[in-house]
Amino acid sequence: MSLIIEHLYLSPIVVSRDLAFFKAQKISRVLIAAKNLRQHFQQLATYKQLNLSDNPQSCIIKYFVESIKFIHEALSARKNVLVHCLGGISRSVSIVIAYLMFILNISFEKALEFVKKRHSKADPNPGFRAQLKAFEKCIIEYKKLKEDDSSGTIDYRLLDTLIGMADKNDSGKAKKK
């Protein structure tokens, strides 16, 4: 288990079964970046589960907006979030990297380095890396379009539209599954 930023934890599945960890860290939100994994503590936490396989052809970019929204709303309310998949290496790491890229306005490479310093097993598969690089371009475009907006609110619909345009251009080199 790794604390990535305040209130945001990243782990493999084993931590998701640890009741003592959930209670000690006051985990109240869990994002499972994998299909067919059990939600162990539904009485303690709100879950979001992504129907996602860990292979380079899986389209992870289509889950970025809903994941960013889920994580950001929880962290904004100072709730503790656990993001996990089976191994805590590729899927969950990619989701956390996407979140950091967007919220901190940093590149894929900087976000990967940031996560690796805190979670040494971080290693998105090649397809997810390509999609994170495509997402970086979406973020740049998003920031340009929002530069005159002083409200500070996140326009998830705009971000989703930009991702959809990138996906149509096959920037992520992944087929939708």
Catalytic residues: 85
d(CA 10, CA 117) in angstroms, rounded, equals 12
DSSP states of 92-142: HHHHHHHHHHHHHT--HHHHHHHHHHH-TT----HHHHHHHHHHHHHHHHH
Cα–Cα nearest to 8, from 79, 60, 68: 79
Q: How does strand 8-11 pair with strand 27-32? A: unpaired
CA–CA distance, 111 with 25 (Å, rounded to integer): 24
CA dihedral 31, 35, 38, 42 (to 10 degrees): 40
